[in-house]
Amino acid sequence: MADAMEQLYQEVILDHYRARHGAGELDPYDAESFQVNPTCGDQVTLRVRLAHGDGGPSVEAVGWVGQGCSISQASLSVLNDLVVGRTINEVDTLNETFRELMHGRGAELPEEKQDSLGDASAFTGVAKYPARIKCALLGWMALRDALAHALTSEPASGTQEEER
């Protein structure tokens, strides 16, 4: 198999694809978000539960149920590892940093930013394939939407419009 595929499907991505950290229904939860990738039919429902400590609200737990390609499922597993226990501000920063990586056409971010992404830095190569960027971002879109609902105490479950 060509090198390009091994760069895209890094071992850490395939490991997370199999491990599926955070997979399963979370209950109780504060908010959830359902997201679809209409080009390939990938779907995820992601739930989030917050903790309210002295440092402001933080993510206590994430749970997700979905089906999709290795990239989308691995990205959800990595997301779980990165955000549980972090404050909302930290999660927002991670979300923005990951988005920046995905729009970088395969280039790494400055070292400190790249390192902050942990296992998610393995997705650098995904950004070379425009059709796969949405796969990697699916879980992060769901997380951002769920957190917005959780923080505004809107009713759970937000469905964003499908991207066309």
**Phi, psi torsion values for 39, nearest 5 degrees:** -70, -30
Residue 64 binds another protein (CB under 8 A): no
User: Is-contact 61 48, C-beta < 8 A?
Assistant: yes
Residue 43 binds another protein (CB under 8 A): yes
State the number of binding residues for another protein (CB under 8 A).
Answer: 20
Tokens of 147: 């957190």
Alpha carbon 68 to chain centroid, angstroms: 13
Closest CA to 112 of 127, 129, 93: 93
Window 3-22: residues binding another protein (CB under 8 A): 4-5, 8-9, 14
Residue 40 binds another protein (CB under 8 A): yes
Among 60, 70, 81, 106, binds another protein (CB under 8 A): 70
Residue 67 binds another protein (CB under 8 A): yes
Residue 141 binds another protein (CB under 8 A): no
Closest CA to 48 of 138, 144, 116: 144
Supply the minimum distance, in Å, between the C-beta of residue 136 and another protein.
11
Supply the minimum distance, in Å, between the C-beta of residue 128 and another protein.
9
Among 81, 129, 156, 157, binds another protein (CB under 8 A): 129
Residue 102 binds another protein (CB under 8 A): no
DSSP secondary structure string for all residues of 24-56: S--SS-SEEEEEEETTTTEEEEEEEEEEEETTE
User: What CA–CA distance (Å, rounded) separates 61 from 47?
Assistant: 8
Residues that bind another protein (CB under 8 A): 1-2, 4-5, 8-9, 14, 39-43, 67-71, 129, 132, 135
